[in-house]
């Protein structure tokens, strides 16, 4: 390095608010299982003493952790209790993040094409009587005339299919995509009402395969079902390059 070359600049120092550091510390304890689901936290005053911060800082940190689904307040108690986020809460956050990253309908469709067949295969092997009953009840609502109810029913079927795997990774993996698919599915069903009969038929075939424990047929019909969605979008004139809308 010669005398005329300036030295490299330093990186800016990241300054975090105190409540964020407290929230991160709480989240770390919970995710490391040092605080288990159902454990009660000390009072705000005691936590403020332990963290050496103001009580208002602890209150703000706990509010953030509660919004993330890591804490909840039991009715009638002033103390916070450790909880775990519901899958819907996790899926909502991922869906919004995908929408902000300009995910398109084609991206969602490709994701479902990759994910749903293995989910159907695992569901056929692991489904229980309660899973079959839940799926059967959903299938009985297939073909409803209202486009919004029809779109909700189609998404619910896939959610229940994921539940039948009893694998939390698979359940969480596809749910954000299903939430992003629903608004466009409603538009498609409104424009292509005949698609409802095909959805109903495919759902019944998938359910039959699950009842029989036939993993191969469950995959075959799930693949056909997903392909039909793309065909429906094309008939409705919905561009697959269109960005998805975030969940409501």
Domain assignments of the chain as residue spans, ordered by start: 18-82, 88-236
Quote the tokens at residue 165: 């795997």
- Closest by CA position to 148, among listed 107, 104, 94, 196: 196
80 DSSP β-pair partners: 73
Give me the pLDDT at residue 89, please.
Answer: 81
pLDDT in tens, the chain (248 residues): 556 777 777 776 566 789 999 999 999 999 999 999 999 999 999 999 999 999 999 999 999 999 888 999 888 778 899 998 888 888 888 888 898 899 999 999 999 999 999 999 999 999 999 999 999 999 999 988 898 899 999 999 999 999 999 999 999 999 999 988 888 888 899 899 889 999 999 999 999 999 999 999 999 999 999 999 899 999 999 898 988 876 66
Q: Which CATH number applies to 18-82? A: 1.10.10.10
* DSSP-derived secondary structure letter, 237: T
Q: Is 82 helix (H, G, I), strand (E, B) or coil?
A: strand
- CA atoms within 13 Å, Cβ hemisphere of 109: 22
pTM of the model: 0.78
CATH superfamily of 88-236: GntR ligand-binding domain-like (1.20.120.530)
Q: What share of the chain is helix, strand, coil (3-state, %, to 5)?
A: 65, 5, 30
């Amino acid at each position: 390095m010669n005398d005329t070359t300036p030295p490299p600049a330093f990186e800016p120092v990241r300054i975090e608010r105190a409540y964020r550091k407290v929230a991160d510390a709480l989240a770390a304890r919970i995710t490391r299982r040092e605080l288990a689901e159902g454990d009660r936290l000390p009072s705000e005053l005691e936590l403020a003493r332990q963290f050496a911060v103001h009580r208002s800082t602890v209150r703000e940190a706990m509010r953030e952790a509660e919004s993330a689904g890591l804490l909840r307040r039991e009715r009638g108690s002033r103390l916070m209790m450790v909880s775990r986020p519901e899958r819907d809460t996790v899926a909502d956050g991922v869906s919004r993040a995908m929408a902000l990253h300009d995910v398109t309908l084609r991206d969602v469709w490709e994701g479902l094409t990759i994910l749903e067949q293995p989910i159907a295969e695992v569901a056929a092997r692991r489904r229980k009587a309660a899973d079959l009953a839940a799926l059967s009840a959903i299938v009985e609502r297939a073909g409803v005339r209202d486009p919004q109810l029809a779109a909700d029913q189609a998404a619910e079927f896939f959610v229940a299919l994921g539940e039948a795997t009893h694998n939390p990774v698979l359940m969480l993996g596809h749910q954000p995509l299903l939430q992003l698919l629903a608004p466009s599915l409603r538009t498609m069903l409104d424009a292509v009402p005949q698609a409802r009969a095909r959805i109903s038929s495919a759902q019944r075939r998938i359910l039959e395969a699950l009842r029989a424990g036939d993993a191969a047929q469950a995959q075959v019909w799930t693949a056909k079902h997903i392909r039909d969605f793309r065909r429906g979008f094309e008939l409705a004139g919905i561009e697959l390059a269109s960005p998805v809308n975030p969940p409501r």
